[in-house]
Structure 1
């Protein structure tokens, strides 16, 4: 039977904390989505894989695909998702319709610990039964309460199952159920099994896997990273620093931390002159002991004229991950009299976190004046210093 996998990666993952969406966060050196895609790309029973992404996430998606450690010829072009998970899945199914797979597995991108055995069970269950979902026994006692918190009933936990993905369906049956729900103006089903139940079809629960956890909260990422690193290798912490300076010239803005900041001057620079991102790039390269920004992006090369500095930080972070490393923390300090950092600080932190694939709490940004001393004190230019903490495998 022909089998396709649909990876749902269009959400924002707000419960996991601020910063880059959780499917693009780094997990022991590689993004969550890259780890999930790799499980399906390496499975011999999967003919095609399609990923549903947020319309704004094409760049981080391509970056994640670049981290995949196996061949990607079975990976189809991504599809833009909708405003709910249900709508996103429908978009993915419609993109697969012309291929007419017999079975489709729907999997959450935030479950990177799925293994080939569970995928095998999902395919087998869909072959025997048109709709099937993996479930694990509930070990806690469950209470059903009313609006005031009063217990209404206590269901028998022996009959309860916590449902996971991949959920497996005969393709046409799932597509028909989604279209029926869409035609009924329903779009808030958070589970494809529940949608198929609503459409009047029976759903089988097959054996899930307790290790197939979903990354929802920040604590889940901490546990997942510990799970990956403790069983694989020992890491050594590296620390690097960076410094950059640019003189002012005529202009109406400066780039700082990936944000265009209005100002009565511009800067003299070969690229966009973002001193914060330049300093951070050098800090990461310093922790790697791999030269500096001029080594990797020489000013003599015309291709970097006016270049956006986010490319430099992305490159440095990619070098860390290529060596199996992890970026733990980035810290930068802006030195100038003007412009003031305060109104833009959080937007810059968000931008730096997005560029580097980190949580917001892994990015620190500060500013100080030099008490009217030196070239920054005289308003002749601005500068930034930065530090980066990374981990590299001990045998690197």
Structure 2
């Protein structure tokens, strides 16, 4: 069944720290989750209602999608819903789903349940039964324990015939603010059905809700590896894994020649399928002359984060006869943990020699290899 949808995204989101509908969740703006899901479920028209000054933000957040348009909302949620209804085109009697952008994990299953329940009814909502004991707070403690039998937590989307919802809003008492759209239809004598909701349709209300929502996103693991080598040259310091070590020589490179950080940067980029360090920081570019290599690693992690990914653990092996790495290994682990925002036990640094063989064995240079495990959201 074809349907239209209104996504309400005009609120300030102050309890969540502000602008929650525009914040990144799994690498996508929160509002984009709902719009993509509703379009995928069959919506032939999605009206996104935003604050008047946020229309350019909607264009940026939903770039590349078709079948939607943004309109300016009002001071209250109900004003925004009415603005969305006014903007709808097409058959006035077709189903319309009204959804809060702050509930990003709407599924095609919920949409299908709502549309099926709308047959022969004025509206249908998704809801979950209360499972916790309910208390009413008084002035100084608990006033009463409330019987939870028959009590349900309403979610969105909520489904209606567009003309029926318009008619109900037209007679809603002035000065009153409805808590949801079903209440508007109920007040007008409409019959609203209830279908089983989804616990994953959580509402992002508080800052900590974002951390919980991130755990609900399906992800897949990837592993990348990196390798780097540099020649020895004149100097008195060598940089390894972000730590300066006094030595009778230095590594030669366009940047600070930190082979450990270079290998690890390539490992992260490789796990993402995002090229290598030379693509992003070419040695022909003079701005990277003598640059600290931690900025390359930070940039790789930022690229990972922008795609909604996260680093799981890293493992670096340094290959050289000298300097001795073991006395500095803990400092290297701590520095990498700091750069990568990882717990220390997710960072490994090891060292080995080539027992006199090869270019590292002859002390012509130093090499490093690295492995990184990441998690990326499963493409919607």
1 CA distance for matches of 2:169 and 2:140?
35
Q: Give the alignment of 1:74-85 within 5 angstroms.
A: 74-75=67-68, 77-85=69-77
CA deviations 1:112-137 (Å, max 9, x no partner) are 11111011001111123111111111
Is contact 1:4-1:101 (8 Å) kept? no
Q: Give the alignment of 1:306-321 within 5 angstroms.
A: 320=303
CA deviations 1:239-283 (Å, max 9, x no partner) are xxxxxxxxxxxxxxxxxxxxxxxxxxxxxxxxxxxxxxxxxxxxx
2 CA distance for matches of 1:41 and 1:186?
34
CA deviations 1:323-376 (Å, max 9, x no partner) are 734599xxxxxxxxxxxxxxxxxxxxxxxxxxxxxxxxx9xxxxxxxxxxxxxx
Q: Give the alignment of 1:28-177 within 5 angstroms.
A: 28-44=26-42, 46-66=43-63, 72-75=65-68, 77-96=69-88, 99-155=91-147, 157-177=148-168
List 4+ stretches of structure 1 deviating above 6 A: none
2 CA distance for matches of 1:202 and 1:37?
27
- CA apart distance, 1:320: 3.5
DSSP-derived class of the 1:166 partner: strand
CA deviations 1:6-30 (Å, max 9, x no partner) are 1111111111124xx1111111211
Give 5+ residue unaligned stretches, structure 2. 225-268, 286-298, 312-340, 342-372
DSSP-derived class of the 2:125 partner: strand
- CA apart distance, 1:43: 1.4
- 1:232 paired with 2:223, answer no
- CA apart distance, 1:233: 3.0
Q: Give the alignment of 1:222-301 within 5 angstroms.
A: 222-228=211-217, 231-233=219-221, 289=277, 291=280
Call closer, same or farther: CA 1:322–1:227 in 2, change over 3 Å.
closer
Number of residue pairs matched by the alignment:
256
2 CA distance for matches of 1:35 and 1:159?
31
Call closer, same or farther: CA 1:61–1:233 in 2, change over 3 Å.
farther
- CA apart distance, 1:176: 1.0
Give 5+ residue unaligned stretches, structure 1. 237-286, 297-315, 329-361, 363-390
2 CA distance for matches of 1:200 and 1:321?
52
Call closer, same or farther: CA 1:185–1:36 in 2, change over 3 Å.
same
Is contact 1:87-1:187 (8 Å) kept? no
Q: Return the structure number with greater strand share.
A: 2
1 CA distance for matches of 2:57 and 2:67?
19
Call closer, same or farther: CA 1:168–1:212 in 2, change over 3 Å.
same
- CA apart distance, 1:200: 2.4
2 CA distance for matches of 1:164 and 1:394?
28
Is contact 2:117-2:124 (8 Å) kept? yes
TM-score using structure 1 length: 0.57
Call closer, same or farther: CA 1:59–1:392 in 2, change over 3 Å.
farther
Call closer, same or farther: CA 1:144–1:200 in 2, change over 3 Å.
farther
- CA apart distance, 1:98: 5.5
Matching residue of 1:7? 7
DSSP-derived class of the 2:171 partner: helix
Call closer, same or farther: CA 1:101–1:291 in 2, change over 3 Å.
farther
Compare CA radii of gyration and give the structure with the larger one: 2
- CA apart distance, 1:194: 1.5
- CA apart distance, 1:185: 1.9
Question: Which of structures 1 and 2 has the larger relative contact order (alpha carbons within 8 angstroms, sep 6+)?
Answer: 1
Call closer, same or farther: CA 1:173–1:13 in 2, change over 3 Å.
same
Is contact 1:2-1:101 (8 Å) kept? no
Is contact 1:3-1:101 (8 Å) kept? no
1:178 maps to which of 138, 151, 169: 169
1 CA distance for matches of 2:305 and 2:93?
35
1:23 maps to which of 21, 24, 27: 21
